[in-house]
Structure 1
């Protein structure tokens, strides 16, 4: 009977260990906010350029993400993964811009010279910045990206190298979550990148020289 009525006790060291374990579980549940960017990207409404373009996405591009660490305890850290959305957008854009696109079997170099393409485009996200809302109840985010493009032969010989910027802003503050606002801002930035690239590709001086040397003329202005 005494055994049934006795109360178990926890020593001070055990209590400390228990509190540390609970604290660890709480901290584990307070990780960074993660956003995997998803969106729809329409094909460009332009006449395709009569050339066969090779595409090579480096791992840093196809798996692109950025991490922003919280500055204060009241802020949240963010991990925003744009890689899959980048590939989806650029695949759709380039397939609409050129009469034929081919994904390279490997990085352009001597071993890839047997892939018959006019040129290979290699995109990179050179820099990404974003601005958070001034007030937590206003879910308007801004994202700015700078791309670097390399146009090379299938053997890796340089043809052109240039940069381009893109900007996206959440068009409305009436979204259900901060994650949705960040996602939409990223999608808008990607669409802006696509529009800028489609408009200015043939205006890049190095690209113009390359097209002229090979007699490649935009269908809308040529034949």
Structure 2
């Protein structure tokens, strides 16, 4: 006579816990591919301008990220966070471009007039476009950014504003992962932004006029 098959039972609380765990794993598996951009950003090769520059990073800038929604079930969503890398690159660049940089304690306005700086720079990512292999059918990632810069007094009064573009492209299709390729494209775009800014800052007509009024003579960069 055959022995009856043994059966294990799961209590209702354990069953609820198990279902919640499985559901959580399913949700985790459906989440976007996340890239926190990291890179190395060398300082500019230039003599710093004799100017004391204040810096204010808006929250949208210091926490900047962009999201690419999958176009089909075979693709993945992408969440690319560039904020920390943006701050790292611009801090390094500006510290090398000016004799002194000061992070403002608050957004430029009447309450900030006690911080003695010549002017305050406020960068923003005005627009971002990207191309990934799913879009182009080529194993290359590209990122294009348009920045908007505002130069203001500590009291928030406008001095001038201008835009600048930057472009980054994955230089090789043989990286180990898509995440590494996205990261490298973003790093290349940030480096391009730094080189463009250092080269062209003093060439912006209103900036040149402002530097002349401060008796600051722009120097050539080594970028």
The answer to whether the superposition gives a TM-score over 0.5 is: yes
Aligned partners of 1:81, 1:124: CA distance in 2, in Å? 15
Residue 77 of structure 1 is matched in structure 2 by 77
Deviations 1:50-99 (A, max 9, x none): 10000000111111111111111111100000000000000000000001
Deviation at 1:116, TM superposition (A): 0.4
1:127–1:146 CA contact under 8 A, matched in 2: yes
Residue 5 of structure 1 is matched in structure 2 by 4
**TM-aligned CA distance change 1:59 to 1:19, over 3 Å:** closer
Q: How does 1:201-220 map to 2 (within 5 A)?
A: 201-218=201-218
Deviations 1:153-188 (A, max 9, x none): 011000011110000000011100000000000000
2:53–2:118 CA contact under 8 A, matched in 1: yes
Query: What SS does the aligned partner of 1:5 have?
Result: coil
TM-score between the two structures when normalised by the length of structure 1: 0.87
Aligned partners of 2:178, 2:50: CA distance in 1, in Å? 43
Would you say how many aligned residue pairs link Structure 1 and Structure 2? 212
1:139–1:178 CA contact under 8 A, matched in 2: no
2:143–2:186 CA contact under 8 A, matched in 1: yes
Aligned partners of 1:35, 1:184: CA distance in 2, in Å? 11
- Gapped runs of 5+ residues in structure 1? 11-16
TM-score between the two structures when normalised by the length of structure 2: 0.87
Deviation at 1:6, TM superposition (A): 6.0
Q: CA RMSD in A?
A: 2.5
Residue 148 of structure 1 is matched in structure 2 by 148
- Gapped runs of 5+ residues in structure 2? 10-15
Q: How does 1:1-223 map to 2 (within 5 A)?
A: 5=4, 22=22, 25-133=25-133, 139-218=139-218
1:50–1:218 CA contact under 8 A, matched in 2: no
1:139–1:181 CA contact under 8 A, matched in 2: no
